[in-house]
Chains A and B, each alone.
Chain A
């Protein structure tokens, strides 16, 4: 009989049922979209931020230590320590390999350039295809890592043995144009000078210290300096999880963590954990997260997530309020019917159960429709804000189910209070 009443109430009062379902659908669609975007926004924001450069730098252990202790940087006579270029593919074999978006090595040497004088000659990969130990191939290099650089002319190719890119500052100061030829000489480790003539293929503006250098393929710089197979520094761009207290403690000293904390830290994509794992695969290396970048990412993510959460809560609150209005109006409209049920002997809880079940039935229908609509809305938000699809997170389904229950129960509360106070004599006889 109970189900019969619910079924009849639903089928014979379709308009009210659909209005409640529609209200819940609106709220749940927004909540679904926001929750999906919120759970995916970390990756999306990370990917967006990754286009603005590296967030981990790797240096030889000794050089990094001197740099840390005395502020002595590269090119100041301390840099007899190098990393091995042959080990670089190992970066893509760490636990968080899939989070490594890009990386590139650097080798900087002091050169004597004709018409310029002393200048830094910086060697790097441009778009190197690497065969990694897992059997896969990946592309790595500065072209993707520094995608915001303003380059006039083409990027160099890694096998271009006599090409060079000139930083904007140097080009302006010495009036260097594309197509000019520059003779450079580098003193190798034995003191012997090696020289070659390079053609300016392009000019670039990085907005950073690279604007003063000559940029050449890594192999060219290695050959001129006699440092074949060596690199001075590696920049890594990785998708990371915002740093927290655990990550900060681990970054200072991983040995200070308990075993359980260590496992959590190691298996979470904190910049410090990824840096630690890079150190594990590169001989005598010291990998450091770029803290400003990591902190900014954390702040951006935190604020974006908070905004999404607020929108979710607001949309659900609005939905619950609207449902409350509809259900309360429904109870007022049906006060005679409810009074009659009480007069016939229905207990308060039986009537509350009836109203709750009716509301829940419409909320479930609305919730299902809202979930599907929310997935669509999430894609619209993903494409318009991040230019990428937002993946449907499984976690959202139980969350949405709970939210539907909460909206239905919360929305029914005022109505339930009202019907508990309702006295049959008043509604049936006006006394």
Chain B
């Protein structure tokens, strides 16, 4: 499998704070990687760099063969739109749009809104019957599944999930992880940022960060849960 993402000696400095220190990392296509660490370890900063929402202060980031670390804001927006699917801990859904419209929004900025396809995406995450509901009418788990449907609608090369189960109860967490397993089985590349060892153990690879440094990179200690 070729590398979909490569980080070479990436550092990120905010004023006097160094959030990432000389990170070198490669992610293979189809790999499910968990990035772990405590608060302030640099997980979210790494996600912002990989997700083209921030440029590193130093180092090189190559996504799908394209060096993205020196692109301008407009070019980064295009990369984000075409190749990355973002999933957030706090869902970040548009409150006045229905579930299907929230999915169609991602299509609209990518190419063209297609309600039929958006409905199919909702069906895949088990929300077909909730298509016409507003986010506030959905449970936390449903909102996260809606967020996943929105991230998948444009068939991204890389799915980036920031604490996707952070706001969910056990059953909803299981439902979300099940969707990730299906995506992984279908060949999607997934990076999940989490502080939860339980969630990380579902990945096939765990990268541990501490104070901006990569301190561990390997398979989970326990056997993967199917």
* Contact of A342 with B77 in the complex, beta carbons under 8 Å: yes
CB contact under 8 A between A344 and B106, given known A424-B53, A425-B53, A431-B54:
yes
* Contact of B109 with A341 in the complex, beta carbons under 8 Å: yes
Query: In the complex, what distance in Å separates the CA atom of A162 from the CA atom of B39?
Result: 113
B211 is an interface residue with CB less than 8 A from chain A: no
14 A–B contacts, CB within 8 A, in A order: A1-B101, A1-B104, A1-B113, A4-B97, A5-B105, A337-B94, A340-B92, A344-B81, A345-B82, A346-B77, A347-B77, A425-B48, A428-B53, A431-B48
* Contact of A428 with B77 in the complex, beta carbons under 8 Å: no
A343 is an interface residue with CB less than 8 A from chain B: yes
Which of A341, A343, A345 is the one whose CB lies under 8 Å from B78? A345
> Contacts of A339 on B, CB cut-off 8 Å?
92
Task: Give, as a whole number of angstroms, the nearest-CB distance from B164 to chain A.
Answer: 14
Interface code B33-55, partner A: CB below 8 Å = 1, 0 otherwise?
00000000000110110010110
CB contact under 8 A between A343 and B96, given known A350-B109, A425-B54, A428-B53:
no
A-B contact count (CB 8 A): 76
B222 is an interface residue with CB less than 8 A from chain A: no
* Contact of B54 with A13 in the complex, beta carbons under 8 Å: no
Which chain B residues numbered 148 to 165 have a C-beta less than 8 Å away from chain A? 150, 162
Query: In the complex, what distance in Å separates the CA atom of A336 from the CA atom of B88?
Result: 12
* Contact of A343 with B108 in the complex, beta carbons under 8 Å: no
Question: By the criterion of a CB under 8 Å from any partner CB, how many residues of chain A are at the interface?
Answer: 28
A173 is an interface residue with CB less than 8 A from chain B: no
A8 is an interface residue with CB less than 8 A from chain B: yes
A353 is an interface residue with CB less than 8 A from chain B: no
Interface code A313-347, partner B: CB below 8 Å = 1, 0 otherwise?
00000000000000000000000110111111111
Q: Which 8 A-B pairs have the closest CB atoms?
A: A345-B81, A12-B96, A1-B108, A425-B53, A1-B113, A345-B109, A425-B48, A8-B96
* Contact of A336 with B96 in the complex, beta carbons under 8 Å: no
A9 is an interface residue with CB less than 8 A from chain B: yes
Which of B74, B101, B107 is the one whose CB lies under 8 Å from A4? B101
Query: In the complex, what distance in Å separates the CA atom of A104 from the CA atom of B107?
Result: 81
Query: In the complex, what distance in Å separates the CA atom of A340 from the CA atom of B106?
Result: 10
Which chain B residues numbered 54 to 76 have a C-beta less than 8 Å away from chain A? 54, 74
* Contact of A429 with B44 in the complex, beta carbons under 8 Å: yes
Task: Give, as a whole number of angstroms, the nearest-CB distance from A380 to chain B.
Answer: 39
Which of A9, A336, A345 is the one whose CB lies under 8 Å from B92? A336
A174 is an interface residue with CB less than 8 A from chain B: no
12 further interface pairs, Cβ-Cβ under 8 Å (given A12-B96, A337-B94, A344-B80): A8-B101, A11-B96, A13-B96, A337-B92, A339-B92, A344-B150, A345-B81, A346-B77, A350-B109, A425-B54, A431-B19, A431-B54
> Contacts of B53 on A, CB cut-off 8 Å?
343, 423-425, 428-429
* Contact of B77 with A8 in the complex, beta carbons under 8 Å: no
* Contact of A346 with B88 in the complex, beta carbons under 8 Å: no
Which chain B residues numbered 122 to 180 have a C-beta less than 8 Å away from chain A? 150, 162
A98 is an interface residue with CB less than 8 A from chain B: no
Closest-by-CB residue of B relative to A336 is B92
* Contact of B97 with A8 in the complex, beta carbons under 8 Å: yes
Closest-by-CB residue of A relative to B86 is A343
B residues near A (Cβ < 8 Å) are: 14, 19, 44-45, 47-48, 51, 53-54, 74, 77-78, 80-82, 86, 88, 92, 94-97, 101, 104-110, 113, 150, 162
A2 is an interface residue with CB less than 8 A from chain B: yes
> Contacts of A343 on B, CB cut-off 8 Å?
51, 53, 80, 86, 92
> Contacts of B78 on A, CB cut-off 8 Å?
345
Task: Give, as a whole number of angstroms, the nearest-CB distance from A13 to chain B.
Answer: 7
Which chain A residues numbered 258 to 280 have a C-beta less than 8 Å away from chain B? none
Closest-by-CB residue of B relative to A11 is B96
Closest-by-CB residue of B relative to A347 is B77
* Contact of A1 with B96 in the complex, beta carbons under 8 Å: no
Query: In the complex, what distance in Å separates the CA atom of A1 from the CA atom of B105?
Result: 7
Which of A8, A345, A423, A429 is the one whose CB lies under 8 Å from B80? A345
* Contact of B96 with A9 in the complex, beta carbons under 8 Å: yes
With a 10 A CB-CB cut-off, give which of B78, B82, B94 has the most chain A CB atoms. Answer: B94
> Contacts of B110 on A, CB cut-off 8 Å?
345
Task: Give, as a whole number of angstroms, the nearest-CB distance from A428 to chain B.
Answer: 6
> Contacts of B106 on A, CB cut-off 8 Å?
344-345
> Contacts of B74 on A, CB cut-off 8 Å?
347-348
Task: Give, as a whole number of angstroms, the nearest-CB distance from B158 to chain A.
Answer: 14
Which of B44, B82, B109 is the one whose CB lies under 8 Å from A431? B44
Task: Give, as a whole number of angstroms, the nearest-CB distance from A246 to chain B.
Answer: 55
* Contact of A344 with B109 in the complex, beta carbons under 8 Å: yes
Query: In the complex, what distance in Å separates the CA atom of A207 from the CA atom of B108?
Result: 80
Task: Give, as a whole number of angstroms, the nearest-CB distance from A198 to chain B.
Answer: 88
> Contacts of A11 on B, CB cut-off 8 Å?
96
Query: In the complex, what distance in Å separates the CA atom of A19 from the CA atom of B44?
Result: 38
* Contact of A346 with B96 in the complex, beta carbons under 8 Å: no
Query: In the complex, what distance in Å separates the CA atom of A347 from the CA atom of B110?
Result: 11
Query: In the complex, what distance in Å separates the CA atom of A152 from the CA atom of B47?
Result: 97
Query: In the complex, what distance in Å separates the CA atom of A4 from the CA atom of B53?
Result: 27
* Contact of A428 with B92 in the complex, beta carbons under 8 Å: yes
Task: Give, as a whole number of angstroms, the nearest-CB distance from A294 to chain B.
Answer: 62
